[in-house]
Structure 1
Amino acid sequence: MDLQMSSSAVLINDARACASLLVRNSKLFINPQYWHKITIHNCEGIHRDVLLKAVLDAIHPNDLIPVHFRKEDSNASFLARNCKAAIEKLCQNNLFIANPLNNNLPFKLSIVLAYSTTNDLQINVQDNVLEVLNKRYNSTTKTLNLDAFYKDPDLEEFCVLSQPKILYFVLHLSKNLIVQHLKLSNNDISILNPVESLWGVKNLTSLDLRNNSIESIKKLTILSSLSIHDLWLDGNPLCDEYDEYTYVQAVKEVCPQIEKLDGIILRQSGFPAFRRNYLCNPKCQEMIDNFMEHYFTIYDNKNERNKLLGIYEQNATFSITSRYLIGQSTSATASLTPYKLVSRNIRTLSDLAKSDENLVMGNEKIIKIIQNLPPTEHDPYTFTVDLMKCTDELILLVVNGVFRECSDNLSAPERILGFTRTFILGANDNNEYRIINEQLHVSNATTIQQQRAFKVVKVAKDNIFTSSFTEAEKKEMIEAVKTFTTMNMEWSKKCLEECHYNLPKALSLFVDLYKVDNIPEEAFQR
């Protein structure tokens, strides 16, 4: 359809005249009935998507919805309306935009304000988009697949979801569908505010945002009002800002209901699935995750370690080795005495007879040894889990990671330790696996291990006193201890935690330790 230029049309093709023309014709911008024509010069042979993407990149983050794209000899043109900010930005750039195919030859633009009216050209994008949405919707799985949406051959206009207005428009239309799984991957999306159009959609639980341009976790805050349990973020710039120890926690802060991230199951109990695995048989992952969660959750509750008795086969064997690592940040405060007392390091034993004595046999004796070891808290985000063998009869599992000893003594230094546990599990007549052999190796943590430990999840001590106070009340008590004792915030908090946030008891403890000069200088450092 050929359009005739309206009598109100104003041509802008001189960069020097842009500012004055825009001011004099400001009323044309705010009139939604006018179509403005933007022409890209000297672009023969270049695909529509490349040209329009170049324009949209140039006006980002402003909105512009291009329609009625046409090739005119060596030029190309399209229409747009309600785009005052976008046109102003193009004029600020002197009507030049970057050419992604040749950095030395930018595209030159010209603009005709009020080229035509909506009476002369009526464009119904909605019917076409609805048709494409229905085509991409799977009613069986309740999945709406909008992956690389703008490339859909049935779209009549350039519907690129990186434009917030277009994304909002498309998502709003999709509310007529029952969507549980929404795929928005490969759309160059950087702004997620249009997702608010889905607020109130209770069915949506899975969102795929892979390979977009989301630069910050804060951009995901908009998702907190949705019930997203399964989220994919691989391939976004924000992923480069975190290591595996902080990535999950950062996402959970803005998406508290998340259960699965980038295909990895996150345990809602606070004991996460393990991110760094070698599994000789991937089908065993759920079983291994369940075993790990069960074992370490019980082990980290010293008073409950006797419950591990049933996990060990009656005639199981168990041994411990330990090694002191020099030159590490943990070396100065390292103490491996509880482990060396029962260690079976054959090369370092002065009495080789103890090599047999320290090979513990029988599940009851194993539990007795375990109960005598210090109370611990493991950091599952540091775990490396290697499933070396998995058959119907036997499982060989190696776990490396970090834990810390939980001392009841406030003045005791925090000890971060590294460990390797090698489990051999055998199946009994009831096809239930039991530990038939375990080797535990303990050392002081390396400098890197200490730096990374407990950066994601700090499991609170399980006691009735701590849970009875709100975070605001705890903060007030920490401030009170700081004021009375002149200790810094960290040590004031530590003092209260030792006394389960019993303020009088915490102050009494401080006085007792202060009298015997048993509070380190660092407690008073600001």
Structure 2
Amino acid sequence: MSKTLFYRKYLLNRVSVGKDVIDYLENLLARDEESLNHSFHKVMVHNWLEDDVQLYNTINEYYNVLFVPVEYASKQNISSFYTSSLSFVTKIVKMDFMFPYRRNMFNIDILFNDKSSSDCFESRITIEEIVSSVVSNRFNNKMELDLSNFCNDPEFAKRKINFYKIDLLANFKILMLRMGRDVKMLNLSNNQLNQVPLEILNFFTRGDMIGLNLSNNNIPSIQEQFRVGSKVEHLWLEGNPLCEELEVNDYIKKILIKFPRLLELDGVRINQHGIIYPFFKHFVISSQKKTKMVVEKFVTMYFNHYDSKPRSKINMFYDMNAVLTISTDFSDYEDLAMPHYEKCVRNIMHPIKRARTENNKCIFKSRNSITKLFEQFPESTHDVNTFNVDVLKHDSGQMLLVIDGIYKEQNTVLEGIYKESYTGDAENKKNISENYLQFRRTFIFNIHTANGISLYHITNEMFTISLADRERKDNSFKFPIRKMNDLSLINPDKAEIKPISKAFKHLTMLKKSEVERRLKAYNWNINLALKKFIEDVRNDIISTEHIEEENSFSDVSSDFD
């Protein structure tokens, strides 16, 4: 009888294992044959009192090995599962079957080569092939790999594979390297993650991944060190403890430090002014804490979604049977410049325009029709510094909200005219091809409670638009929110000026007065100031009187005190 047959269904324990068995296991490991992945060994743990996941985690921690268990069972004080990991079995043997749950006692037995893959899965297939199939089926033609709720995939349940934590994917290196090369969007939501899975992310950050979804997990912080060269532009973190414990400003700043190229956070675009926050000038009713919280969240989220392309996510704010009407006060010439409004406006008080839409009342009745309409409108940007927000009513069943302010959008008609013929300054062209509009939007919300949570949906909206007058136009978009992911300062105070001036002086060896002059000239944007400095050095136009003497530059720490 050969050794291979001799060791089939062979009970390994502290008594039965000798040097010949250990030598045999090491020889098998050295051969690394593919057929070994079709052999499954039954691991039996005596007197385990906790659940299966706790058992896997304890074994993983003690033996320092990742494995994918199959067919877990607990009967007569014995918890058992199957594994195809020969290295895991060998470690147990070499550590003399010691296990921390019962210190210094050999409470693990192994039934070696008890089953084949055909016995476990009713076909000759390995765990690696099953996992590869599940992962591949979650990769779509948009280059998105959806690993959400991965451990509960129906294929694992069908084959009784206990994929108890997503970190096990790090074991499948060839698969992960292949997927990491092609994936642009990675979804790791709803996986009960207690920390950012760096072992998995490392496979993808080397590739072209620009989107990462870590929402609805148990991640308490993002202190882990991501790669400096991270290309992530779209990030979702909502539904994690880190979102609840941090104040909003701190939350966004910490995220932007880790992800310097971020364009979108939790589905909200980070625009040219940074994340938008509303500045409310007044409330008609007393702004109770709950009212203020609800309104701030709505205004922040809604107008960021509206200013993002595509606007498809705007539909989540509306009731299924929501009703929208739009009215404008444009001249015929202005209508020509903004044809997207002319065909959807219901102007009851304007007889000429009312006649144009006599057969179409221009009342949009449904969430989908409202979303479809807004998606046809040009790209826009709202100036929240101009917002007036009036809360006319807020009780347990309804909220009535009126918002007016200024926004701008592309003038697609003039832009098309000037695209080929315009030869002037680029900034002037931009101003010509943008419309500055004054709006008033009246929202009526229906409020209902589900599982103790108040849900707000817009049931009616009245949208009124007119061209902004000269004064309003000149006073809008003057005070952008701080751009937290850029090396620039807006209206800086002394405490902010000091470090950026110190850094610029260290890089250029210019005197303090010249440092501040150059930074002020470029609105405290250190990137632009450095570009100009390098250009001046190349052209040799920097006067020696502006350069700090070498022996006086030994200590710059006191120069800006």
Q: Which TM-score applies when normalising by structure 1?
A: 0.46
